Amino acid sequence: MKYLLLTPWFARGNQVDRSGHLHQFCPVRFSIVTPSFRSAQWLPLCIASVADQEGVAVEHIVQDSCSDDGTQEILAREPRVRAFIEKDRGMYDAVNRGLTRATGDVLAYLNCDEQFLPGALKAVSDHFEANPHLDAIVSDTIVTDTRGDYICHRCALAPGRHQMWVRFPVLTCALFIRSKVFHGMGIRCDTAWRALGDWVWVMEMVRRGVRFGVLPVMTSTFADTGDNLCLHPVALEERARKWAMAPAWVRTMKYPFILKYRLELAARGAMNYKPFDYSLHTLESPARRVTKHAANPSSFWNRRPSV
Residue range 274-293, pLDDT digits in tens:
999 999 999 999 999 999 99
Contact 206, 169 (CB under 8 A): no
Counts for the chain of helices (H) and strands (E), in that order: 9, 13
CB atoms within 10 A of CB 186: 10
Band (236; pLDDT cuts 50, 70, 90)? confident
Name the pLDDT band for 50 (thresholds 50, 70, 90). Answer: very high
Residues 6 or more apart from 271 whose CB is under 8 A from it? 265, 299
Checking if the pLDDT of 185 tops 90, the result is yes
pLDDT of residue 233: 75
Continuous H helices in 143-196: 179
Alpha helices in the chain (DSSP H): 43-51, 71-76, 91-101, 120-130, 179, 197-207, 233-245, 248-252, 254-268
**pLDDT value of residue 231:** 60
- Say whether 116 sits in a helix, a strand or coil: strand
**How do the domains of the chain map onto residue ranges?**
13-294
User: Picking from 25-34, 110-119, 225-234, 245-254, which range would have the lowest pLDDT averaged per residue?
Assistant: 225-234
Alpha helices in 131-279 (DSSP H): 179, 197-207, 233-245, 248-252, 254-268
Q: Are 217 and 126 in contact (CB under 8 A)?
A: no
pLDDT bin (cut points 50, 70, 90) of residue 235 is confident
Does residue 7 register a pLDDT over 90? no
Contacts of 303 (CB under 8 A, 6+ apart): 224, 231
Nearest to 45 by CA among 279, 254, 304: 279
Interatomic CA distance for residues 171 and 229, integer angstroms: 13
- Domain 13-294: assigned CATH number: 3.90.550.10
What percentage of the chain carries pLDDT values higher than 70?
A: 88
Query: What is the Cα–Cα distance from 46 to 42, expressed in whole angstroms?
Result: 7
As a whole number of angstroms, the distance between CA 181 and CA 106 comes to 10
What integer pLDDT is reported at residue 271 of this predicted model?
87
- Which amino acid, one-letter code, is at 256? P
Beta bridge partners of 25: 13
pTM of the model: 0.89
Which residues are bridge partners to 190 per DSSP?
none
Rounded to the nearest angstrom, the gap between the alpha carbon of residue 116 and the centroid of all alpha carbons in its chain is 8
Q: How far is CA 158 from CA 5, 94, 139, in A?
A: 36, 26, 9
- Rounded to an integer, the average pLDDT of 225-254 is 87
DSSP 184: I
Q: Burial of 248 by CB count in 10 Å (0-12 exposed, 13-18 middle, 19+ buried)?
A: exposed
pLDDT at 300: 83
95 phi and psi angles, rounded to 5 deg: -60, -45
Bridge partner list, 24: 14
User: Would you state the pLDDT for residue 24?
Assistant: 43
Please, what is the average pLDDT of the chain?
90
Question: Does the pLDDT value for residue 216 go beyond 70?
Answer: yes
